[in-house]
Structure 1
Amino acid sequence: MELTTVWFIIIAGLWVGYFVLEGFDFGVGTLLRVIGRDEPERRAVITTIGPVWDGNEVWLIVAGGATFAAFPEWYATLFSGFYLPLFAILVALILRGVALEYRGKRDDLLWRGRMDTVITIGSVAPAFLWGITFANLVRGVPLDSSYEYVGSLGDLLSPFALLGGVAFTAVFVAHGAIFLALRTTGELRERANRFAARFGVVAAVLTVGFLLWALELRGDVASSVLAGVAACALVAGLVANRFRREGWAFAGTALAIGLAVTALFVAMFPAVMPSTLDPSSTLTTVDAASTPYTLKILTIIAAIFTPLVMLYQGWTYWVFRKRVTVEPVAVS
């Protein structure tokens, strides 16, 4: 297997890890005011992701760095053409991180309420914009013969892209609700379970609709099979949630997100930036790749450090695996 293909698979795997893990972070942040009805409950909701949210964002950093190193032309075209949505994602993630860290710095309900609002916005906006971004990667964008983006912001907001944004957001919210049901107790757990059962149907319909449209645009047999299994995993997760088997439910939604993202990457390959103007202007893995020597060095580095990072993150999840209880919080 050529190293360009190997690194396309590695980058796809990094994005899968990011969306599976950061996906429930986005869902929990979106549901902060929906599931948490008062300050003690919202404190408990935040505590479920407190030890892991920043570690989950490492997957995004590594994915971006790997793209820059292995496929610099892809990185340049993507970040120049999608500058505004990617910049908005960056700002939203920064503000969300600040709000998560500073929420408990003052015993003031007004202060915490404002931080909760920032957390919610900083969770919804990236989920929606990532959906738009990946929908456009599947659909294609206007590229000239130099692989330069020649479209406008409006070209990124097609009906298919907007559906992608809504579908990504919906499935992350369902994923987050199931995570809350898995990690909490009492009324908070019951409320999260009920919400996941009801909203999960909406998320499933939107996700299946988006995948069907994506496969019609770029799909093949392999991506169609993966998308079909993803849909089945999502339904199985929702069924498990109704039977109060939150562990299996979370595994189902995680598998569904992972397989759905994998299906999108399989449908894209070998094109990383399809051109809607001229097929000859489509940017492929070969066109975008670094030199073979660079890819070889990157492969050695990845083989050494990737297992260590994954072991550390797995250890973190194991340490903080216990359910979170709602406890009274004294505020002035």
Structure 2
Amino acid sequence: MALTTVWFVLIAVLWAGYFLLEGFDFGVGMLLGHLGRDDRERRLLINTIGPVWDGNEVWLIVAGGATFAAFPEWYATLFSGFYLPLLIILVALILRGLAFEYRGKVDSPRWRRRWDAAIIGGSLVPAVLWGVAFGNIVRGVRLDAHHEYAGTFFDLLNPYALLGGLTTLTLFLLHGAVFLALKTDGEMRERAGKLAARLSVPAIVVAAAFLLWTQLTHHDAWGWALSAAAAVALVAGAVAARARREGWAFLATGITLVLAVAALFVTLFPDVMPSTLPGGASLTVTNAASTPYTLKVMTWVAVFFTPLVLLYQGWTYWVFRKRLRIEHIPVGHP
């Protein structure tokens, strides 16, 4: 297998890992105001992801770095053409990170409410815009013969991409609700479980519509297979959520996200950014790649460091595996 294909697959794995792990982070953040009825309950929700949210964001950093090193032409075109939405995502992630750190620094309800709003907004905006971005990448954008983006910001807000944003939004909400039902106990576990059961219906409808639209447009056999598998996993997750089998439900929603990302990347290959302009030039794994020597060095680095990162992150989740109850949260300001 060519190293360009290897790195295309590795980048797909990184994005799948990011959606799997950061997906429930975003879901918890978006549900903060809905499930957290008072400050103590909101602190409980934040504590479920407190030890892991920043580690989960490492997957995004590595995915961006790997794209820059392995496919610099793709990186340059993507970040110049999608500059505004990616900047909005970055600002949202920064505000969200600040909110986690600063909401408890001042003993003031108004102060905490403002930072809670930053957590909700900082989770909602990326949850939508990542779907919009990937929808445009798979659909294709207006690239000229020099691989430069010739469209506008509003060209990115097409129906297919917006449906992609709605898909990631509903899947992340479901994934987050299932995670909260798995991670908490008592009344919060019950409320999160009921919410997950309700969210499963719109998630199935929206995700099925997006994946069906994708495959009807591209007619990729492997894409059809992966999309069908993702649909089966999502339905299984909904059934498990309604049966209050939180562990199986979380596994199923996680598999759904991984398979959905895999379906998009398989459908995209061998392009990395198709052009929709007549006379335009699409970016592929060949014309967007770095030199063979660069890819070879990167491969050895990945072979050595990736297992270490996975072991460390797995150990983190194992250490903080126990359920949380409202009784674990001290009354008053932390």
If the length of structure 1 is used for normalisation, what is the TM-score? 0.98
| Preserved CA contact (<8 Å) 2:104 2:333 | no
Matched residue of 2:326: which SS?
A: coil
Matched residue of 1:276: which SS?
A: coil
Match of 2:248 in 1: 248
Matches within 5 A, 1:142-181: 142-181=142-181
| Preserved CA contact (<8 Å) 1:39 1:329 | no
Match of 1:306 in 2: 306
Residues 1:235 and 2:235 aligned together: yes
Residues 1:76 and 2:86 aligned together: no
Matched residue of 1:321: which SS?
A: coil
Residues 1:267 and 2:245 aligned together: no
Cα deviation per residue 1:273-296 (whole Å; 9 max; x = unaligned)?
A: 000013761110000000000000
More off after superposition, 322-331 vs 18-27 = 322-331
| Preserved CA contact (<8 Å) 2:143 2:280 | no
Matches within 5 A, 1:57-68: 57-68=57-68
CA distance in 1, matches of 2:107, 2:320: 25
Q: What is the aligned residue count? A: 332
Counterpart code for 2:145: S
Match of 1:119 in 2: 119
Aligned equivalent of 1:330, options 320, 329, 332: 332
Match of 1:130 in 2: 130
Matched residue of 1:272: which SS?
A: strand
Matches within 5 A, 1:309-320: 309-320=309-320
Report the CA distance between 1:36 and its aligned residue: 1.0
Report the CA distance between 1:331 and its aligned residue: 3.9
| Preserved CA contact (<8 Å) 1:138 1:218 | no
CA distance in 1, matches of 2:18, 2:134: 13
Report the CA distance between 1:219 and its aligned residue: 3.8
Task: Kindly report the root-mean-square deviation, in angstroms, between the aligned alpha carbons of the 2 structures.
Answer: 1.1
More off after superposition, 322-331 vs 36-45 = 322-331
Matched residue of 1:57: which SS?
A: helix
CA distance in 1, matches of 2:219, 2:49: 35
Cα deviation per residue 1:239-293 (whole Å; 9 max; x = unaligned)?
A: 1111111000000000000000100000000000000013761110000000000
Counterpart code for 1:151: G
Match of 1:288 in 2: 288
Cα deviation per residue 1:124-167 (whole Å; 9 max; x = unaligned)?
A: 00010001000001100000000000001111000111111111
| Preserved CA contact (<8 Å) 1:109 1:331 | no
Match of 2:187 in 1: 187
Matched residue of 2:287: which SS?
A: helix
Q: Identity across aligned pairs (percent)?
A: 64
Report the CA distance between 1:214 and its aligned residue: 1.2
| Preserved CA contact (<8 Å) 2:23 2:175 | yes
Label 1:31 to 1:299 Cα distance change in 2 as closer, same or farther (>3 A): same
CA distance in 2, matches of 1:112, 1:324: 21
Matched residue of 1:142: which SS?
A: coil
More off after superposition, 322-331 vs 295-304 = 322-331
Matched residue of 2:290: which SS?
A: coil
Counterpart code for 1:57: E
Report the CA distance between 1:218 and its aligned residue: 2.2
Matched residue of 2:314: which SS?
A: helix
Matched residue of 2:136: which SS?
A: helix
Matched residue of 2:235: which SS?
A: helix
Report the CA distance between 1:201 and its aligned residue: 0.6
Matches within 5 A, 1:193-212: 193-212=193-212
More off after superposition, 319-328 vs 86-95 = 319-328
| Preserved CA contact (<8 Å) 2:74 2:288 | yes
Matched residue of 2:286: which SS?
A: helix
CA distance in 1, matches of 2:187, 2:176: 17
